[in-house]
């Protein structure tokens, strides 16, 4: 064993990487889509619709596919969820619409709603069809902070209703989580940017990149210059492990690594350790663990402090990462980090010690006192993100914030009557589909407030 971390780029050649990061779930062809659509019972008061945060009329769009009206199916989907194309790729349908499908029994399987949704929306995108038109201009101006799912959903709905919208985005590209935070094999061929372009093509939306709240713009200034403001900032920080040595080389934030991977033109340039340890249990942990293996890591171990039933990532996601050679260690929590000393005084991670856990008599998580250590060239932290008020600038002082989230009512209205918020910066499901629902609900409320 070498006296230092074994981290290298280019462990796999271009052909292997292209194969590893190809579309995880290739789209349905026309004949397969028709066969799958024919399985739908077209239920009245369909439970799948109730399970969808954006309330897509699922029986209606599937009936359109079955009758050959694919454009109509896509219009039904996008009318309810303007990011229906991305949600078809990343939404945990196995816990939402497909779980609620009446065909989801021991003897049968649910209708492939997500795959059919992708079939319809991909058809519309490929044809270059813009099914939405703007209402006459209202003369009202709305500022949207954040070009992620919540912000773009809000902006699109407001634009369709006739308002002029300016979207301020801190990063070089729009798309938010869809562009920077999702595994590359879930959204290939630049789909996130194609979806952003589609949303903007309705007209009435100006996207200003490189504009951060608290640095380039202030909430007070936006309230002065616009008739209403929507905040879709997402989470602004990453939870720490709280361990000594957490800042040593090789201990990385999973969200940053996923963003770097998504933006890399050549994945052969990305360094990956021979032994990788991922700490966490959500989709971010699954994504970085799987992608580390796909980049050429020999051993990848994902460690979660509770059991598989409590793991935030779905059973399907757990099985997916395990099918790619990732080992999942349940019932263990990190206790210490050990490092390699270097001549310049710096330290690089060498090993992580975990304490086994269990539930005590009251049902709370407790350590057992027994430990296990794992050698690691890289350690990825994926234990959750948080809203850091200081990153919001003056908004932190102007808004009510509780439990790391901006407080809103059912209309997504904050403590300020002209300021609304949605997505991961408010309480709720931290999912793309929920962020889209928040943005649309806020847009409708803003429209009513502005006299619509």
Query: Residues with Cβ < 8 Å from 34, sequence gap 6 or more?
Result: 65, 66
Whether residue 179 is found in the same domain as residue 119: no
**Does a structural domain hold residue 12?**
no
Residue 113: domain span? 30-127
Give pLDDT tens digits for 35-83.
999 999 999 999 999 999 999 999 999 999 999 999 999 999 999 999 9
* pLDDT (0 to 100) of residue 24: 93
**Does a structural domain hold residue 349?**
yes
**Does a structural domain hold residue 16?**
no
Q: How many CA atoms lie within 13 A of 402 on its CB side?
A: 7
* pLDDT (0 to 100) of residue 341: 84
* pLDDT (0 to 100) of residue 391: 84
Residue 258 · residue 183 · CB < 8 Å: yes
**Does a structural domain hold residue 163?**
yes
DSSP string, 162-223: T-EEEEEESSSSS-THHHHSS-GGGS-TTHHHHHHHHHHTTSSEEEEES--BTTTB-HHHHH
Task: Give the pair of three-digit tokens for residue 299.
Answer: 């051993």
**Does a structural domain hold residue 296?**
yes
**Does a structural domain hold residue 14?**
no
CA angle, 389 then 395 then 396, to 5°: 30
SS3 label, residue 300: strand
Domain boundary among 384, 403, 427: 384
Domain boundary among 82, 101, 127: 127
CATH number at 335 reads 3.50.50.60
End-to-end CA distance of the chain: 69
Whether residue 116 is found in the same domain as residue 68: yes
Name the pTM for this structure.
0.95
Q: How many CA atoms lie within 13 A of 164 on its CB side?
A: 8
What whole-number distance in Å separates Cα of residue 38 and Cα of residue 33?
Answer: 9
CATH number at 120 reads 1.10.1060.10
Domain boundary among 127, 152, 185: 127
User: Quick one: how many helices (H) and strands (E) in the chain?
Assistant: 17, 19
Q: Which of 451, 344, 441, 411 is nearest to 80 (CA)?
A: 441
Q: Which of 234, 169, 164, 233 is nearest to 207 (CA)?
A: 169
Other CB atoms within a 10 A radius of the CB of residue 288 amount to: 29
Q: Is the dihedral of CA 421, 424, 426, 427 positive or negative?
A: positive
Whether residue 361 is found in the same domain as residue 275: yes
Which residue positions in the chain have pLDDT lower than 50? Answer: 1-2
Whether residue 103 is found in the same domain as residue 187: no
Whether residue 151 is found in the same domain as residue 202: yes
Task: Give the pair of three-digit tokens for residue 442.
Answer: 């806020």
Whether residue 258 is found in the same domain as residue 355: yes
Whether residue 246 is found in the same domain as residue 363: yes
Helix, strand, coil proportions of the chain in percent (round to 5)? 35, 20, 40
Whether residue 154 is found in the same domain as residue 186: yes
**Does a structural domain hold residue 52?**
yes
Count up the domains in the chain and report the number.
Answer: 3
Whether residue 331 is found in the same domain as residue 284: yes
Buried/exposed 252-286: b ≥16 CB within 10 Å, e otherwise: bbbbebbbebbeeeebbebebbbbbbbbbbbbbbb
What whole-number distance in Å separates Cα of residue 417 and Cα of residue 408?
Answer: 10
**Does a structural domain hold residue 17?**
no
Residue 439 · residue 423 · CB < 8 Å: yes
Residue 172 · residue 132 · CB < 8 Å: no
Q: What are the Cα distances from residue 208, in Å, to 153, 195, 200, 248, 293?
A: 16, 17, 12, 36, 36
Other CB atoms within a 10 A radius of the CB of residue 323 amount to: 9
Whether residue 95 is found in the same domain as residue 60: yes
* pLDDT (0 to 100) of residue 343: 65
* pLDDT (0 to 100) of residue 210: 98
Whether residue 228 is found in the same domain as residue 250: no
Whether residue 279 is found in the same domain as residue 373: yes
């Amino acid at each position: 064993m070498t006296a230092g971390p074994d981290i290298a780029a280019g462990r796999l050649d271009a052909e292997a990487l292209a194969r590893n990061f190809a579309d995880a779930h290739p789209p349905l062809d026309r004949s397969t889509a028709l066969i799958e659509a024919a399985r739908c019972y077209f239920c009245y008061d369909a439970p799948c619709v109730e399970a969808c945060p954006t309330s897509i009329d699922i029986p209606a769009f599937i009936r359109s596919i079955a009758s050959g009206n694919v454009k109509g199916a896509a219009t039904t989907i996008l009318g309810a969820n303007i990011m229906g194309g991305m949600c078809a790729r990343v939404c945990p349908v196995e816990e939402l619409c497909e779980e609620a499908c009446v065909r989801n029994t021991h003897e049968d399987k649910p209708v492939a709603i997500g795959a059919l949704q992708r079939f319809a929306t991909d058809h519309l995108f490929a044809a270059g069809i813009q099914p939405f038109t703007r209402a006459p201009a209202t003369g009202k101006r709305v500022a949207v902070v954040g070009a992620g799912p919540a912000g773009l959903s809000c902006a699109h709905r407001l634009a369709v209703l006739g308002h002029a919208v300016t979207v301020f985005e801190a990063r070089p590209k729009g798309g938010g989580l869809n562009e920077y935070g999702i595994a590359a094999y879930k959204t290939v061929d630049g789909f996130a940017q194609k979806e952003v372009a589609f949303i903007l093509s309705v007209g009435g939306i100006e996207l200003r990149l490189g504009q951060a709240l608290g640095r380039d713009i202030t909430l007070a200034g936006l309230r002065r210059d616009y008739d209403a403001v929507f905040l879709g900032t997402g989470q602004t920080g990453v939870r720490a492990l709280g361990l000594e040595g957490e800042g040593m080389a090789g201990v990385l934030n999973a969200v940053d690594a996923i963003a770097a991977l998504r933006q890399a033109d050549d994945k052969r340039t990305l360094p990956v350790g021979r032994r990788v340890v991922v700490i966490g249990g959500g989709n971010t942990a699954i994504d970085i663990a799987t992608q580390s293996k796909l980049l050429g890591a020999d051993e990848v171990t994902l460690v979660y402090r509770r059991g598989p039933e409590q793991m935030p990532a779905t059973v399907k996601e757990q099985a997916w990462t395990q099918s790619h050679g990732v080992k999942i260690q349940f019932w263990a929590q990190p206790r210490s980090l050990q490092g390699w000393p270097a001549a310049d005084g710096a330290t690089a991670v060498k090993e992580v010690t975990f304490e086994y856990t269990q539930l005590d008599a009251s049902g709370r998580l407790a350590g057992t006192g027994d430990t296990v250590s794992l050698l690691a060239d890289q350690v990825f932290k994926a234990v959750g993100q948080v809203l850091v008020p200081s990153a919001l600038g003056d908004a932190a002082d102007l808004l009510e914030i509780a439990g790391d989230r901006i407080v809103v009512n059912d209309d997504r209205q904050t403590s300020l009557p002209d300021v609304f918020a949605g997505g991961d910066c408010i309480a709720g499901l931290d999912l793309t589909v929920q962020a889209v629902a928040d943005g649309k609900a806020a847009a409708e409320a803003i429209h009513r407030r502005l006299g619509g």
